[in-house]
Structure 1
Amino acid sequence: MTADIIRDRVTNVLHALEHAASARVRDEMGPRFGIHSDKAMGVQMAAMQAIAKPLYPDHALACALWETGWYEARMVASMIDDPALVTPRQMDAWRADFDNWAIVDTVCAKLFDRVPHAFAKIDQWAALNDEFGRRAAFALLACRAIHRRGDDAEYRRGLVLIEACATDERNFVKKGVNWALRAMGLKASPALQTAARETAARLAASTDRTARWNGKDAMRAFAKADDRTSETSP
């Protein structure tokens, strides 16, 4: 595919996004949803998904859309990229551009959790001081657990990372750690669910306020899930 063709296709996607955009949606992104971006049109998720659906898979177009810097174009990019063609370098480059929780979670859920080297990035990103970089580590861990990708050894390393980062009080990191812990306690193998619940119990007993919140909130989620299971059991 030539550069001119890719450029034309990017233009077509941007036009489609502009056509679906709403000033009201754009103005509500920050105050209502906490989604802050310097370049946003104001397109609802359903419209972005509809635009992306006929384009999948297209790695070259995805990379070109990402480079535009537009929030919505990057969301579409995550939906159309081919995970088999995503390199560790691309993952790091996109991660460096993360500037809000929505792009983090969407890229991890739609694309990165299907990439073969995802767990290596979880290890690396959890060590970052950047709030959205560390959020990405735990969002990716949560998505892998929800979709049951990976083996138990990798998830056990993830529990170590959860415990190590559970004291990070920054909002998006804290919620990412909590999401990963809940996902592992509810969606992983029985042995890992037990290990996740033991981790939650240790955190709940911590003297650190943030770690304690992470543990107690996860334990509440586990208790609710157990109650629902018992109600539906014969």
Structure 2
Amino acid sequence: MAELAELEDPKTREVNEKHGDDHGVNLGKLRALAKRLKTQQELACQLWETGDTAARLLALLICRPKAFKRDELDVMLREARAPKVQDWLVNYVVKKSPHAEELRLAWSADPDPVVASAGWALTAECVRKKSENLDLSGLLDIIETEMKNAPDRLQWAMNHCLAQIGIEHPEYRSRAIDIGERLEVLKDYPTSPGCTSPFAPIWITEMVRRQQR
């Protein structure tokens, strides 16, 4: 914790807080610290229990994803209110867990939009890697009905899922693009030069173009 405190930078914190992340540690330096520590499950659990955002991010880098029980991961997600902590928990830990599918189903239907966004993030991953058990048409129905008025983080996750369906499944591509065009979610999102817009029709078209090179 003392070492993390030394890495704290006020300018980094100022930038992070604009995105809802209450820490001031450069992520490159955090990853370097994690690389030095290597995997330490017990230490990871202790760091998580501090409640400190930077400590929790470090914990997610040095933990053993398959060591967590299903209910532990559920509690961790509900505690992880900082967007970056939630994002890393889902991507670095839950996706590697044997409980990922069970949690995906439970979280997607959760009334808490932050929890539901984690479920949709896992669903987007399934669309990309193992979609055989997914009802893609049904997912598009939900997105078409609910995405426009969903809270920001849930909307972002649903939009990601929409784009993945359009990118990975040609039979649903035109419908995915049509939904994106009609709902106009993230249409005006500021995008840096050289980056792909998160607006689904542009995102889908660009990724398909790259695949066909």
> How high is the TM-score relative to the length of structure 1?
0.73
Q: Does 1:173 align with 2:154?
A: yes
Residues 1:58 and 1:226: Cα distance change in structure 2 (over 3 Å)? same
Q: Does 1:35 align with 2:20?
A: yes
Structure 1 residue aligned with 2:108, among 102, 108, 126?
A: 126
1:58-69, aligned counterparts within 5 Å? 58-69=40-51
Residues 1:78 and 1:108: Cα distance change in structure 2 (over 3 Å)? same
Give the unaligned 5+ runs of structure 1.
1-13, 207-211
Give the root-mean-square deviation of aligned CA atoms: 2.6
1:58-207, aligned counterparts within 5 Å? 58-144=40-126, 148=129, 150=130, 152-153=132-133, 156-157=134-135, 160-161=138-139, 163-164=141-142, 165-186=146-167, 188=168, 193-194=169-170, 196-197=172-173, 200-201=176-177, 203-204=179-180
1:189-228, aligned counterparts within 5 Å? 193-194=169-170, 196-197=172-173, 200-201=176-177, 203-204=179-180, 212-214=183-185, 217-228=199-210
Match of 1:43, SS state, is coil
Residues 1:198 and 1:61: Cα distance change in structure 2 (over 3 Å)? farther
Is the helix fraction higher in 1 or 2?
1
Residues 1:161 and 1:228: Cα distance change in structure 2 (over 3 Å)? closer
Q: Residue type of the partner of 2:83? A: W
Q: Do the aligned partners of 1:181 and 1:200 also contact (CA within 8 Å) in 2?
A: yes
> How far is 1:130 from its partner?
1.8
Q: Please give the alpha-carbon distance, in whole angstroms, between the structure 2 residues aligned to 1:112 and 1:80.
A: 14
> How high is the TM-score relative to the length of structure 2?
0.80
Residues 1:160 and 1:122: Cα distance change in structure 2 (over 3 Å)? farther
Q: Does 1:15 align with 2:17?
A: no
The count of corresponding residues between Structure 1 and Structure 2 is 199
Q: Residue type of the partner of 1:169? A: A
Q: How many percent of aligned residue pairs carry the same amino acid? A: 21
Q: Please give the alpha-carbon distance, in whole angstroms, between the structure 2 residues aligned to 1:43 and 1:225.
A: 32
Write the deviation string for residues 69-95 of structure 1: whole angstroms up to 9, x where unpaired. Answer: 010111111111112212111111111
